[in-house]
Amino acid sequence: MGSVGKSRSSRGPRAEARGGFTLIELAIATSILMIGLVSVLSASSRMHSLRQSTRERTLAQNAMRSMAERMHATAHGFADDPGTWAAEVLATFAPGGALGDHFEVEGLTEIDGQPVGSLWIGQDETETDAGLGLELGLPRDLDGDGEASHTDVSAGARLLPVVLTLRWRGERGVHQMRHGFYLMAYG
């Protein structure tokens, strides 16, 4: 019996206390766990924001593509009479026209009550890319007379420059997307 008692006492009180965690060890473990948790939450928040921004951009690109296709199809339908083609396109898509020069984009938030989408149709052959802020190859002969000097070709244009602009309030602030192309009178 003496040897059993001696064996316990030879380990000492310090060895017996090592059965659990100390307060410092718990504090360190908790700190490490909290840092990991904050990192995971931060990454998750950034992923959500990125996913939302990607969704917004996809909606905007699809709206641009859809409106451009709609305008091409509509303009092609007016190609029967080259003398009235430009006037019909403008009567449809200009301010106050049948379809107007603004359009909504479902899923994107407008700014200050203004529709997300707007369009501009050029009628001035002397307009420049620099003035427009977009590369379209302007100035350009729009009515086919060999000169790019008329300031209003709305009566006889065979080619019309178009700029679609989308502005919306998104996950990361205000965004804008622009797309330029030409409508052509076929026939």
Tens of pLDDT, residues 50-67 = 898 899 999 999 999 999
**Which has the closest alpha carbon to 163: 116, 126, 118?**
118
- pLDDT value of position 171: 81
Looking at the domain assignment, is residue 25 inside a domain? no
Looking at the domain assignment, is residue 135 inside a domain? yes
Judging by beta carbons within 10 Å of its beta carbon (0-12, 13-18, 19+), is residue 105 exposed, middle or buried?
buried
Q: In which residue are the tokens 């040897």 written?
A: 3
Looking at the domain assignment, is residue 91 inside a domain? yes
Please name the residue ranges forming H helices in the chain. 2-16, 23-77, 85-93, 129-132
Tens of pLDDT, residues 63-101 = 999 999 999 999 988 877 777 899 999 999 988 888 889
- pLDDT value of position 24: 92
- pLDDT value of position 14: 55
Looking at the domain assignment, is residue 40 inside a domain? no
Sign of CA dihedral 147, 152, 156, 161: positive
Query: What does DSSP say about strands 159-170 and 173-184: parallel, antiparallel, or unpaired?
Result: antiparallel
- pLDDT value of position 11: 53
- pLDDT value of position 18: 59
- pLDDT value of position 27: 92
What residues of the chain score a pLDDT lower than 50?
5, 7-9
C-beta neighbour count of 136 within 10 angstroms: 17
Q: What is d(CA 81, CA 31) in angstroms, rounded to the nearest whole number?
A: 77
Instruction: Count structural domains, the chain.
Output: 1
C-beta neighbour count of 49 within 10 angstroms: 13
Looking at the domain assignment, is residue 41 inside a domain? no
Structural domain for 179, as ranges: 56-184
**Quick one: angle between helices 23-77 and 85-93, nearest 10?**
140
Looking at the domain assignment, is residue 90 inside a domain? yes
Q: In which residue are the tokens 């200009």 written?
A: 94
Partners of 180 in the β-ladder: 163
Looking at the domain assignment, is residue 39 inside a domain? no
- pLDDT value of position 160: 95
Contact assessment for residue 142 and residue 158, using Cβ atoms and an 8 Å cutoff: yes
Please tell me whether the peptide bond between 95 and the residue prior to it is cis, using omega within 30 degrees of 0: no
Rg (CA), the chain: 34
